A and B are shown apart, each in its own frame.
Chain A
Amino acid sequence: RKEVEQDPGPFNVPEGATVAFNCTYSNSASQSFFWYRQDCRKEPKLLMSVYSSGNEDGRFTAQLNRASQYISLLIRDSKLSDSATYLCVVSLDFGNEKLTFGTGTRLTIIP
């Protein structure tokens, strides 16, 4: 079983729609959780950290369910610029070291 599992997609979504990504992780001792965004042929960039209480940043909402070992990302009112690969990331540490990445979910926003 992979340490971090994501649906690879691709997700093709019309502009303005809401899209949700899910991710599961296998190690219950994991302490830190993130969503990264990676544009084609570019480096990954931190989109947001994920907390048990849930957190929101503009159109983006992330949720963590420790009991189910499940992480989600919701994008509302999707924009063309949201087209990218979204990587679910987990760490056993409280910081950002030794990150374990999922394979990523590719999202394309259609005009």
Chain B
Amino acid sequence: DAGVTQSPTHLIKTRGQHVTLRCSPISGHKSVSWYQQVLGQGPQFIFQYYEKEERGRGNFPDRFSARQFPNYSSELNVNALLLGDSALYLCASSTWTNEKLFFGSGTQLSVL
């Protein structure tokens, strides 16, 4: 079975641009979460979606937005990119009640 897949794997953008990151959860998983991991730090929670509804939001500015589609895939959008947005963006999926969270291999975003 396929795991959590994310695209693209690497991305280079310049300040002020916007970016869309994509995530496909494991088949049967209805919950998708997004995390940002800056080099040398642990992942930081951005959003959690379940059944296409936002169920949680971390301490990130409104430049960050996300959505979940009927097939449970998800997109993370970041507008007006800043240098500090350079990070590994991780998507994770799970069933609602299953405590195991499965992470994708991430999208490495570099903002120049």
Contacts and interface: CB of A to CB of B under 8 A. Distances in A.
Interface of B: 31, 33, 35, 40-45, 48, 55-56, 58, 90, 94, 96-101, 103-106
A96 B40 contact: no
Contact of B42 (A32, A42, A87, A95): A87
Dominant SS among interface residues on chain B:
loop
B101 A96 contact: yes
A49 B40 contact: no
Interface string A9-44: 000000000000000000000001000000000111
A43 B100 contact: no
Given A97-B33, A98-B58, A104 B42 contact: yes
Contacts of A45: 103
B97 A100 contact: no
A46 to B, nearest CB: 5
B1 to A, nearest CB: 16
